[in-house]
Every structure is written in structure tokens, then in C-alpha cells.
Amino acid sequence: MPYQTTLIPSTLPTIPSGAIALAECLPENKALVRLDLSSNPGIDIAGVMALSVSIKMNHTLIYLDVNVPVCGHSFCCNTWGLCTCTRNAEDSFSSEIARRLQEEFDLEESRLRADRTYSEFLRLSILECPICSSEYPVDSTFHIDECGHDICWTCAAQYVQTSIETRAFPCLCPCCRAAGDAENPPSVISQNMLLSVLDEEGQRRWLEIERERAITSDPTVRFTNCRNPECGKPTMLGTATEASDLTSVVCPYCYHTWCERCDTDVWHDGTTCEQYQQWREENEQADERTEQTVEEEGYIKCPGM
């Protein structure tokens, strides 16, 4: 029987046999959702009673259309039909909610079971560090993706810190270096892994080393060392064309400023390069005359000069 069934008057005469025949198959029907009896006003009391009993026994019917004005049976049909459809609709809705809740519960339980299994796997999985030979849980592994080697977190932190102190760049896998395979050069440890074992100061120092090496190893970039004697770190000047016209240079580390064109350790604030060069030339000439006078007259220099 299809989801929507309509009884045609020509096939359902006033005798109760048609309605009774339909009534006999309703209790066992598992697919019927809608039953339209509005086009069958000639159903007699026997047919109505038979349909009444069978519809009450059906558990899938939700929509019932009736129009039976004979002997007040319309009220009867609407009443028991409404009760039955309401019951079935509630059961269907409750079943759907229960099914969805069960699916959500099963999914959550599956996730929790997987989490517990993975946590237990991590707890029980013990590895041996190839550097210090100590055992450590797998969740404390410093894994080097580039070559697949694993070492403990403590050894990794000490190794990276030593690389910073010695300014070893790039930082190579210690296991690859120990293997000494000429055909397979040591893998370079990624920046993310290096920074993960360093504190804030260590991260700053490593990024500083990376920047310096990037500047000094690029043949298209000119650089110079900071003129501050307490700093002396590489400072980028730009390309050859840019550097040729550069005057004021500021160190990105200590913020010391000097004039690159005049080749002086300080910046001649308030004067142009030409004015500063003229002043320096005159000052050097004055110093030479002073030295000459000291020698000719036999003056003794102050030890503090």
C-alpha cells in the first residue's frame, strides 16, 4: 500500500465489504502514513466500525481525512482518528528523538573510548633517547620530521641552547651528525621545533642569529657591522644601488646611528655630509698643525690626552 491511500467511491460501495476489506489490512501495514476517506461519504456503520478498530491497531498512520456525515459517524471517525494519528505522530517523533539521542551518545562514547585508548597508548609507550640513553614517554618526544629521528625533550633543549651559544647555523639533527653518513647530509631542524624548546630569551637570540645569517649570506644584499663598539652586529644596507646613496644608518638592535657615506662612527646631526666633511678636514689640519707645534717647541703632552 502506498504512503497515501484514497478510497474511490466506485470501488467502495455502500455495503461494508469494501471498508471491511481495507480494515483487514490496516493493522499489519507498516508503510501507510496518510489515509484519505473524504471521497467516500457512503461508508455505512459496519464499515465505519471496522475501520475504527483497524485504524486504532495501526502504528504508522499520521494523516486521516474523513467526511462521513451519515448518522453522526463523522464525529466518531474524527474523534478516534484524531486520537490514533496523534498517538502515532507522538510515537514517531519520540522514536526519532530517541534514535538521534542514541546516535549522539554512541558517537560521544566512541570518541571517549578512542581518547582513553590513545592516552593509555601514550602512557604505556616508552622510548629510549639515543643521546642520553634514558627512557621517556612517547608524548615527551622531540620529533624531527625531516629525518624521522626522535630524542627526549631535555636533550633537545640542551642541544639547541648549545647551538645558540656557539652560533651554529643551521641547527642540524644530532643523530644525523653522529651517523656521519656522507651520502645523506644531516637534516636541518625546522624553526618551529627549535623555538618550541626555548624560552622567550632563547627564541629572541635564535631569531637574531637567523636574521644575521640571512643578511650575510645573501649576495644581492650589502651589509655592514654596527659602529657601536658594544654591539657590532650585522646591519643591512640594501642592494648595491641603495647602499651607494645611503647616509644615515640605524642599527636594529641597539638603535645606534651613524653616517655610512662619511664613514664615521656617529651621525652628524644638523649638518650635511659636505659640511661635515669640510669640518673634519679643517679639524684634521688643525690637529696636524698642533702636533707640529708641539714637536717644534718641545712641549710635553698631557698623559691624559
DSSP 14-69: SSTHHHHHHHHHTTT-SS--EEE-TT-TT--HHHHHHHHHHHHH-SS--EEE----
What pLDDT is recorded for position 196?
92
At residue 195, the pLDDT reads 93
Domain boundary among 183, 217, 251: 217
Q: Distance between the two ends of the chain, CA-based, in angstroms?
A: 117
Confidence band, pLDDT 50/70/90 cuts, at residue 11: very low
Q: Is 17 part of a structural domain of the chain?
A: yes
pLDDT tens for 137-160 read: 877 889 898 888 999 999 999 999
For residues 203 and 266, membership in a common domain is answered with: no
Q: What is the pTM of this model?
A: 0.46
Domain co-membership, 208 together with 230: no
Q: Do 11 and 95 share a domain, yes or no?
A: yes
The full DSSP string for 235-266 is EEEESHHHHHT--EEE-TTT--EEETTTT-SS
Q: Is residue 234 part of a domain?
A: yes
User: What average pLDDT does this structure show over 88-103?
Assistant: 61
Q: What was the pLDDT predicted at 174?
A: 93
User: Cβ distance 144 to 173 under 8 Å?
Assistant: yes
Q: What is the DSSP letter of 156?
A: H
Note down the domain range covering 191. 153-217
Peptide bond into 186 cis (omega under 30): no
Q: What is the pLDDT of residues 39-62, one digit of tens each?
A: 666 666 677 777 777 777 777 766
Taking CA 242 as the corner, what is the angle to CA 214 and CA 269, rounded to the nearest 5 degrees?
105
Question: Taking residues 240-261, what's their average pLDDT?
Answer: 84
| Mean per-residue pLDDT, 168-194 | 89
Are residue 27 and residue 15 in the same domain, yes or no? yes
In a domain, 191, yes or no: yes
**pLDDT for residue 58:** 72
Write the Ramachandran bin of 281: left for phi over 0, alpha for psi from -120 to 50, otherwise beta.
alpha
In contact, 68 and 43? CB cutoff 8 Å: yes
Which triple of cell numbers denotes residue 46?
459496519
Better-scored residue on pLDDT, 103 or 285: 103
Mean pLDDT of 103-126: 73
- Does any domain span residue 38? yes
Does residue 1 belong to any structural domain of this protein?
Answer: no
- pLDDT score at 70: 41
